[in-house]
Amino acid sequence: MTATLDKALIDRFAAIVGEANALTQPDDIAPYIAELRGLWSGRTALVLKPGSTREVSSILSLATETGTPVVPQGGNTGLVGGQTPGMDGGEIVLSLSRMNRIREFDLASNTVTAEAGVVLQVLREAASEHGRLFPLSLGSQGTAQIGGNLSSNAGGTGVLAYGSARELCLGVEVVLPTGEVFDDLRKLKKDNTGYDLKNLFIGAEGTLGVITAAVLKLYPQPRGREVAWAGVATPQAALDLFNLALDRAGGALTAFELMQQTIVDFVLKHIPDTVAPLQGDHSWHVLVEISSGRSPQDARALIEEILGEGLERGLVEDAVLAENLAQASAFWHLRESMSEAQRPEGASIKHDISVPVTSIPAFIDKAAEAARSVSPECRLACFGHMGDGNLHYNISQPVGARPQDFLKLYRPMNKAVHDVVRSFDGSISAEHGIGRLKREELIATAPPVAIDLMRRVKKAFDPAGIMNPGKVI
């Protein structure tokens, strides 16, 4: 049975964190119960903001004792509803934002130990001040927090070279639903002693416990970095250019982003101070980044070789190299503004998918047919991380359509696109997670054995069922 959040219970929870860190007034609670786009919202009578692992432990111990559901929340930047409470008002929101200390930089081992509430951009800047790179990079990095990044196994633009959040994490500190603390803040790169428990919590979206701190990998700052923007005729040409770049640059190829002309146009139309990198229109665009550990000259030579051969082979229609840091930042700003730029164009139906990299051109062709079978006049606005097979296959409403009418097609459009994804043995959630949005589809389409195993893990870690109910599984 789930406890009712009556005043006596609220007072017991509030006593753990102090009155100032227990939010009960509607205006104070409002930012924690709806996500940025307004697609996911809920109700709660209490938001708790603990300042230590000990306080998180006391909160979860009391929650298990009283059967009170808990919704962990980081920067509230998630896109699938995993961080928002339900509508019944019986859940409490556990914000990790006060747990924002960087506990240690260990430059000898190239690690940083950070608490869950550290903002990603703050961590990246602190690493840079120490002469290191923390390579996780997201459009929401000014708000997203490390705990949320790990709980959703965030990806972003650096996955091609450095991997997702899971690959960047060496150890975690997790508070279990019982209040027990799993302290695994180790810096080991090799450890073969039994099950890899930390990876059960990374990507679990707070359904098994609350990540309160982590040991994360650092890398040397590149000595040379070059960014280029190129126009290409087709996704196949982009794929051929990617393979050429990977062959020439290897691990120095740190980003390869694919963008449809439609979404580039949206950015240029709606995002202030953005400028088209190239003259004229191109059906598709790519952003290429080379990071050299040797020298600026090495990075420049590599990217010039790649673009030169791409032009010779007819893969590239036109290209421009960023001439300075400001221009490189402008290229990245254009790419990272694409989600925001869709909003003024009306309703959109979004898909965060992955397929094998070699299947991307065929997927794009088949997905376009599938989308137009549902809405013949829809506008395809595809972009994403081509180098790791992750596309944000977004579809904007037809010009002049009513948003509410287009959004009625959400389920059939999802089914049409996701059927194509599955035909390529792909994933319906590459980096955003499952949350509330994709829970039913996961349960309906994943192998029954996989669902059964996930449910067994959930029951073993959270027998009282208090951790982020209704999410993932």
256-306: pLDDT as tens digits: 999 999 999 999 999 999 999 999 889 999 999 999 999 999 999 999 999
Q: What percent of the chain has pLDDT over 90?
A: 89
Residues 53 and 86 placed together within one structural domain of the fold = yes
The SS3 call for residue 212 is strand
DSSP 8-state assignment for residue 36: T
Quick one: average pLDDT of 31-43? 84
Residue 23 to residue 10: CA distance in whole angstroms: 10
Residues 278 and 357 placed together within one structural domain of the fold = no
Residue 36 lies in a domain: yes
Question: What integer pLDDT is reported at residue 435 of this predicted model?
Answer: 86
The two structure tokens encoding residue 97 = 């934002």
Compute the residue count for the chain.
473
The two structure tokens encoding residue 58 = 């006391």
pLDDT tops 80 at residue 3: no
Residue 458 lies in a domain: no
Residue 451 to residue 431: CA distance in whole angstroms: 19
The domain that holds 364 is classified in CATH as 3.30.70.2740
Residues 334 and 230 placed together within one structural domain of the fold = yes
Residues 113 and 175 placed together within one structural domain of the fold = yes
Residues 114 and 212 placed together within one structural domain of the fold = yes
Residue 443 lies in a domain: no
Task: Yes or no: say if 335 and 322 are a contact pair by the CB < 8 Å rule.
Answer: no
Residue 457 lies in a domain: no
305-317: pLDDT as tens digits: 999 999 999 999 9
Residue 135 to residue 130: CA distance in whole angstroms: 14
Residue 460 lies in a domain: no
Q: Count the alpha carbons within 13 Å of 83 in the hemisphere toward its beta carbon.
A: 27
Residues 335 and 228 placed together within one structural domain of the fold = yes
46-55: pLDDT as tens digits: 999 999 999 9
Q: Which of 95, 130, 149 is the last residue of a domain?
A: 95
In the numeric block, the tokens 């397929």 are attached to: 355
In 105-162, which residue ranges form alpha helices assigned H by DSSP? 120-129, 146-151, 159-162
Residue 471 lies in a domain: no
Residues 48 and 112 placed together within one structural domain of the fold = no
Residues 242 and 317 placed together within one structural domain of the fold = yes
* Residue 251 domain boundaries: 224-339
CA 283 to mean position of chain CA atoms: 27
Q: Residue 368 CB: number of other CB atoms within 10 A?
A: 17
Question: What are the beta bridge partners of residue 419?
Answer: none
Beta strands in 339-403 (DSSP E): 348-349, 352-354, 379-385, 390-396
Quick one: average pLDDT of 117-131? 97
- The pTM of the full predicted model, rounded to 2 decimals, is 0.91
CA 3 to mean position of chain CA atoms: 32
Q: Which of 171, 195, 220 is the last residue of a domain?
A: 220
Q: What percent of the chain has pLDDT over 70?
A: 99
* DSSP string of 232-286, one letter each residue: ESSHHHHHHHHHHHHHHHGGGEEEEEEEEHHHHHHHHHHSTT---SSSS--SEEE
Q: How many domains does the chain have?
A: 4
Q: Which amino acid is at 434?
A: I
Question: What integer pLDDT is reported at residue 417 of this predicted model?
Answer: 97
Contact partners, residue 171, CB within 8 Å, separation at least 6: 184, 185, 186, 187, 188, 198, 214, 215
Lowest mean pLDDT among 163-167, 231-235, 438-442: 438-442
The two structure tokens encoding residue 178 = 């019982």
The two structure tokens encoding residue 410 = 């959400």
pLDDT tops 90 at residue 39: no
Q: Are strands 253-260 and 210-217 parallel, antiparallel or unpaired?
A: unpaired
* DSSP string of 433-445, one letter each residue: --TTTSHHHHHHH
Residue 375 to residue 377: CA distance in whole angstroms: 6
pLDDT tops 60 at residue 331: yes
pLDDT band at 9 (very low <50, low <70, confident <90, very high): very high
pLDDT tops 90 at residue 2: no
Q: Which of 432, 453, 468 is the last residue of a domain?
A: 432
Spatial CA neighbour of 63 closest among 38, 42, 92:
92
158-174: pLDDT as tens digits: 899 999 999 999 999 99
Residues 289 and 356 placed together within one structural domain of the fold = no
Residues 199 and 215 placed together within one structural domain of the fold = yes
Residue 437 lies in a domain: no
pLDDT tops 70 at residue 347: yes
Residue 442 lies in a domain: no
The domain that holds 71 is classified in CATH as 3.30.43.10
CA 216 to mean position of chain CA atoms: 17
Distances (CA, A) of 405 to 369, 396, 402: 20, 12, 5
Residues 216 and 228 placed together within one structural domain of the fold = no
Quick one: average pLDDT of 212-237? 97
- In whole numbers, what is the pLDDT of the chain averaged over residues? 95
Residues 274 and 233 placed together within one structural domain of the fold = yes
In the numeric block, the tokens 């924002």 are attached to: 100
Question: What integer pLDDT is reported at residue 1 of this predicted model?
Answer: 40
Residue 176 to residue 208: CA distance in whole angstroms: 7
Residue 208 to residue 467: CA distance in whole angstroms: 6
Quick one: average pLDDT of 204-209? 97
The domain that holds 283 is classified in CATH as 3.30.70.2190
